[in-house]
Structure 1
Amino acid sequence: MKMLSLKVWKGIIILTVVFMFFTTYGLFDKGVDNKVNNNYSEENWKSDTTPIVFDWYIDFSWFQTKWGINPVSKYVTDKTGVSLNLITPSGDETEKLNSMIETGKLPDFITLSAQSDGYKKIIQNGLALPLDKLSEQYDAYFMKVADKQKLEWYREGDGHIYCYPNFSSPVTDFNNFKEEKPSNQAFLVRKDIYEALGKPDMRTPEGFLNALERAKKEFHMSDGQELIPLGFHEFNESGNLSLDSILPNFLAVPREENGLVYDKDTDNEYIRWLKTLRMANEKGLLSREIFVDKRAQIEEKITEGRYFAMLYQSSDMSAQQLELYSRDKNKAYIAIDGPSNSKLDPPKLAGDSISGWTVTLISKSCKNPMRAMRFLSYLISEEGNKDLYLGIKGSTWDVIYGKEQFKPEVVDLLNKDRIAFDNKYGAASTYWMLEDGDLVQKWTPDNEEAIKMISDWARGKTYNYSLFDNVYTYDDSEEGVAFSRISTKWGSTLKKLLIAKNEEEFNSILNEFIIYRKEQGWDNLQKYAQQKYEENKKKLNVLR
């Protein structure tokens, strides 16, 4: 064998030393050492529970609960080593998020609405780490605990998955939804006033307006404050949840017709009810406050029982409902049959969809992607859901009558004072960012009567609209830009429609909007939506 020259030997020695240096100090691929132990069945978060703090941005200004202030969050930190610095915007959510995207530096975790374009902007700007790659590199266990349908739903065009949803339900039935999880969309009235008025039928425009008029006249002042005849969710730059989503579902406006995505904004039944609301304003039944109030102000007014009727998501007012009920159950809100189409068809309300309520991403700026990925896997697993929902055995829950459930005193506080419960215990969806709504059903206590009398009304009226999720886009494509402009135009148009002086002005404003959206490429947008609808059917293996 030919001997190696001294020069070659020196080169080999130098390369060996360099390799050992880079390996020792982790300057090669961070995942090299971890791939050896990256077992599909292994709960990798258990392999490192040294203390670490992650910054977690939650894009909802109303969420104010901190981490580490209650036993459940402390328990999770003791168990995993992970502490969270929860960050929420102090002002406008869109401005805060856009500002972070512009800097290119985001907190370790980001949770945003699954219905907005925020999370898509983060992905498009290359600011999120692909969860499938992180799983491959650091934590194969993620692929064991993650739902496959949810992963495929959020797989991007580049083949990667950048986010994971909460309160997302895999689709099995597109008609009647699960009875144990009825919709949270409701038409609510204050029980005492509604009964004093003789329980009027509010399904027709005439009955609706008459009931609002009588409520304002006969109960002008309530507990020393002026009664607000009708309440909605807050108005934003693209419209209003109550009017853009809940109202069409109460009217059973179809999502598709003859296989084509349907345009609800020009539906005759929908326009009929927008004109009814315009008439309500003309009669002085729409308070100016409903156009400007944010969620905090709305919640305060609900707690005071200021609204007679509300088109609202019941889950967004449950804490206020419990407080009202504890003070005087007759002044709490009940759900009744609200606005209906001219045939008086029952509503088709939205339940949980495959998209979920929010999505969570791990940012490219994350200080420790390995720990972040493993913590995310823990959170979406049954163990993580149980820890955050039930809390600590013997403290918040125990096995009672053969079932894992909250202790009586814990349920009692949960049903009486949600805010006090969050502070004292921190269980039962206090930290909802990656909660699996289906998974926690087995631990969910029976609703207190204050909540039950609302949720029971929605049973049998709940449908799954997953096929129509994300058929429009907010991205930087031609379609996305057009839809963003049209949405902003609709946000200002909706208010103008409601305060129009007469029906002629209403028609003029609506026609102006229809012309505007056509100029912005509405026909192409409808073709795009149809294409996405067909893609959704393939993703969810639905033949229609």
Structure 2
Amino acid sequence: MRRARKYLMAAFSLLLCFTIVACSSNNGKSNSNSNGSVNENAEASTADPNEPGWRSKTDPITFDWYINFSWFGAKWGEDLTSQYITKKTGVSVNFIVPPGNENEKLNTMIASGDLPDFITIDVSNDAVKKMIEGELVLPLNQLADQYDPYFYKVADPAKLAWLKQDDGHVYGYPNASSSSEDFKKYGQNFTSAQTFLVKKDMYEAIGSPDMRTPEGFLNALKAAKEKFPEVNGQPLIPLGLQEFTDVGNNALGDHLMNFLALPREKDGKVYDRTTDPDYVAWLKTFREANELGLLSKDIFIDKRPQMEEKIAQGRYFAMIYQRTDMSAQNATLYQQDPNSVYIAVDGPANTNLDQPTLSGPGIGGWTLTMISKKVKDKERAMQFLSYMVSEEGQKDASLGEKGVTYDSIDGKDQLKPEVVELMNKDGAASGKKYGVSYQYWMLMDTNMRMQWDPPAAEPGKQVEDWTKGKTVSFSLYDGINPTGTSEEGIIANKVNQQWGKVLPKLMFAKLDNEFDKIFADYLEFRKDAGYEKVEAYQNAQIEKNKKKMEELNQ
């Protein structure tokens, strides 16, 4: 993921070990309460706040790091970059990835209270609040105070202020995060992952039609299916989407809504984008597409691995998809035939054919990385997090080791030509061999990393450039949805789960009047569930965010 934005430890001796095993695995760190939380009254660190804490101890240690994305496949130690980071810091990582449904795996761990050392999770995931409320994760600010005050030298104060909870603590650090100041500084270079993609050769063969209107969209899908019924002996899939999950499909949610440039607020109140006439009209367009045989059954059941395989085979004609999630497959297609790649074009639009408002990097970021109260070594964990957040860590993760994967070329530190060549030719092979760039994205500061990114090359350049000028910040709406076990959170979860059941039914409706009945029933279900309390919560959070933003911008 390229540019996808900006995103704490001298030790105290262990006073008490409960078992010999605990002593050996914990490397002698304490200053915690019996429940694993950091002691707020503990003595502050005597470490030099101007020196990286990780340098004080580099003996070998392995942390378990849970990544709440089933598609994540990197293996620490397999590539040159992770080998270099381990050689430098002493830290190795054992990644834990859910084999199937991420929420089921994470909820099971939360219920048991047994979490790995590090957890990386989508910032909007309901489990974030569950872990905080359940005291399963440690406040980073307390860890920094006690073990590594250097964290405050490298962490972005705007991000820490934004992520501070009502109890005054910060429990996670974001990746791909950009403040309003970042938008002022880097905004012209900001891109979005949200794209509408078409297969270049097929699209041009049917006359490069305008697909911004429902009629033009359906006609293009029909034309592609008629002209290209098969791709290498396999049926063409006219339209690809993101995964269908238990809460819907993001391609038919925020992704589509942003293409339609639907506002987030109207008259100072949160806008119900789900009931917007343009949005409903486009959902009906997809229903009609299914009626016409233009929605393959595959799109309702395939997960990302299956989708990646079909992208690499060029079996989709059009896709409402994230460009960053298919870049490796698109590079493979490009090597086979530059005309067989997927390109970004203008897709579904509102009635006025307004330019889309694509989601750019918000201050809350894409994911949060948190430290579990069960962490085997608080000091080393906090130091490692500080290192990864720092410019030194960002550079190491981006470029790897000097003389191995990068050199100073023409006065600039940059990846070696052979590394860039493999990245552009075969992203998967490059990840396994080199591990540079965004292989380890969990704490990536995409603004900082711009200075080390190689120039964009085709086919990624076209899809990336297409999003420039259409990318906006939705930071004001970060974290406005209720989560956890609050009344509003329970209602929101119930409504979201219902939408996950309703959305496929809308697509499979035989006629528009059947669609209308299903949609009306959903709105009634939402009302009966108490959805007005969710909206009231959202409005209150927006006002809080506005005040936060004003304070940050002063």
Q: Give the TM-score normalised by structure 1.
A: 0.93
Q: What's the counterpart of residue 29 of structure 1?
A: 31
What CA deviation, in whole Å up to 9, does each residue of 1:465-521 have, x standing for no partner? 111112111210000000000000111111111111100011101110111111111
2:422 alignment partner, SS class: helix
1:88 counterpart residue number? 97
Alignment-derived partner of residue 418 in structure 1:
427
CA distance in 1, matches of 2:489, 2:47: 39
1:75 corresponds to which of 84, 88, 91: 84
1:296 aligns with 2:298: no
Aligned to 1:192: 201
Aligned residue for 2:181, secondary structure, equals coil
Distance in 1 between residues matched to 2:64 and 2:127, nearest whole Å: 18
Over the residues paired in the alignment, what is the CA RMSD in angstroms?
2.0
1:497 to 500, 503, 506: 506
- Are the counterparts in 2 of residues 135 and 373 from structure 1 also a CA contact under 8 Å? yes
CA shift at 1:34, angstroms? 8.6
Matched, 1:244 2:253: yes
Are the structure 2 counterparts of residues 177 and 387 from structure 1 closer, same or farther at C-alpha, using a change threshold of 3 Å? closer
- State the Cα distance separating 1:259 from its structure 2 match: 1.3
Taking a change above 3 Å as real, the CA distance of residues 405 and 270 of structure 1, as seen in their structure-2 partners, is same
Question: Structure 1 residues 245, 176: closer, same or farther in 2, change over 3 A?
Answer: farther
Aligned to 1:9: none
Q: Distance in 2 between matches of 1:502 and 1:413?
A: 50
**Aligned-partner Cα distance in 2 for 1:163–1:173:** 20
Deviations 1:286-336 (A, max 9, x none): 011100100111111100000000001100100111011111111100111
Shift of 1:173: 7.5
Q: Deviations over 1:116-137 (max 9, x none)?
A: 1122211111100110000111
Describe how 1:32-51 pairs up with structure 2 within 5 A. 35=44, 37-51=46-60
For 1:540 and 1:283, the matched residues in 2 are separated by 48
Q: CA deviation at 1:526?
A: 1.0
Alignment counterpart, residue 376 of structure 1, candidates 385, 389, 402: 385
Distance 1:295 1:85, change over 3 A: same
Give the residue type in structure 1 aligned to 2:509: A
**How far off its partner does 1:23 sit?**
8.7
**Residue of structure 2 equivalent to 1:401:** 410
Gap runs ≥5 in structure 1: 1-19
Residues of 1 paired with 2:66 and 2:405: CA distance?
27
Q: Which amino acid aligns with 1:282?
A: E
Tell me which residue corresponds to 1:460: 469
Amino acid in the other structure paired with 1:162: Y
CA contact (8 A) 2:45 2:146 kept: no
Q: 1:22-79: per-residue Cα shift (whole Å, max 9, x none)? A: 5999797379999453222111110011111111111111111111111111111111
User: What is the aligned partner in structure 1 of residue 10 from structure 2?
Assistant: none
Tell me, in whole angstroms, the C-alpha distance in 1 between the residues paired with 2:475 and 2:29: 44
Partners of 1:174 and 1:465 within 8 A in 2: no
Q: Is the radius of gyration larger for structure 1 or structure 2? A: 1
**Does the alignment pair 1:362 with 2:364?**
no
Q: Distance in 2 between matches of 1:226 and 1:21?
A: 64
Distance 1:483 1:402, change over 3 A: same
Is the contact between residue 234 and residue 315 of structure 2 (CA under 8 Å) also seen in structure 1?
yes
Conserved? CA contact 1:176–1:461, under 8 Å: no
Give the Cα–Cα distance (whole angstroms) in 1 for the partners of residues 182 and 448 of structure 2: 18
Residue 485, structure 1, aligned to residue 487, structure 2: no
> Does structure 2 conserve the Cα–Cα contact (< 8 Å) formed by 1:188 and 1:309?
yes
Could you say which residue in structure 2 is the equivalent of 1:10? none
Does the 8 Å contact 2:116/2:375 carry over to 1?
yes
Residue in structure 2 matching 1:203, options 190, 207, 212: 212
Q: 1:21 to 1:324 in 2, by over 3 A?
A: closer
Given that 1:176 and 1:460 are in contact with CA atoms closer than 8 Å, whether structure 2 keeps it comes out as no
Aligned-partner Cα distance in 2 for 1:216–1:21: 68
Structure 2 distance, partners of 1:312, 1:91, is 21
Aligned-pair distance for 1:156?
A: 1.2
Q: Distance in 1 between matches of 2:202 and 2:45?
A: 67
One of 274, 278, 283 as aligned partner of 1:274: 283
Name the residue aligned to 2:113: 104
C-alpha distance in 1 between matches for 2:522 and 2:186: 35
Pick one of 109, 115, 125 that aligns with 2:124.
115
Q: Per-residue deviation at 1:184?
A: 1.4
Partner of 2:317: 308
Counterpart for residue 362 of structure 2: 353
Quote the Cα distance in structure 2 between the aligned partners of 1:28 and 1:132.
16
Contact conserved, 1:261 with 1:529, CA < 8 A, in 2? yes
AA aligned to 2:515 is F
Report how far residue 339 of structure 1 moved: 0.6
**Correspondences of 1:131-150 after superposition (within 5 Å):** 131-150=140-159
Cα offset for 1:260?
1.1
SS in 1 for 2:506: helix
Structure 1 residue identity aligned to 2:210? D
Give the letter for the 2:241 counterpart. Answer: F
Partner SS, residue 309 of structure 1:
strand
Q: In percent, how many aligned pairs have the same letter?
A: 51
Counterpart of 1:536 in structure 2 is 545
Does residue 1:439 correspond to 2:439, yes or no?
A: no
| 2:231 is the alignment partner of 1:222 | yes
Whole-Å separation in 2 of the counterparts to 1:69 and 1:319: 19
Aligned equivalent of 1:17: none
Aligned-residue offset at 1:404: 1.1
Question: TM (normalized to structure 2)?
Answer: 0.92
Partners of 1:33 and 1:527 in 2: how far apart? 40
1:510 is aligned to 519
Distance 1:21 1:356, change over 3 A: closer
Secondary structure of the corresponding residue to residue 157 of structure 1: coil
Structure 2 equivalent of residue 16 of structure 1: none
Contact 1:34 1:138 in 2 (8 A): no
The whole-number CA distance in structure 2 between the counterparts of 1:412 and 1:174 is 31
For 1:333, the equivalent position in structure 2 comes to 342
- 1:229-263 C-alpha deviation (Å, 9 max, x unpaired): 00000000111111101111111111111211100
Match of 1:110, SS state, is: strand
Amino acid at match of 1:491: G
Deviates more, 1:465-474 or 1:226-235: 465-474
Q: Check the 8 A contact 2:69/2:102 in 1, yes or no.
A: yes
Distance (Å, rounded) in 1 between the aligned partners of 2:122 and 2:489: 17
Judged with a 3 Å threshold, the aligned counterparts in structure 2 of structure 1 residues 163 and 315 are, in CA distance, closer, same or farther, namely: same
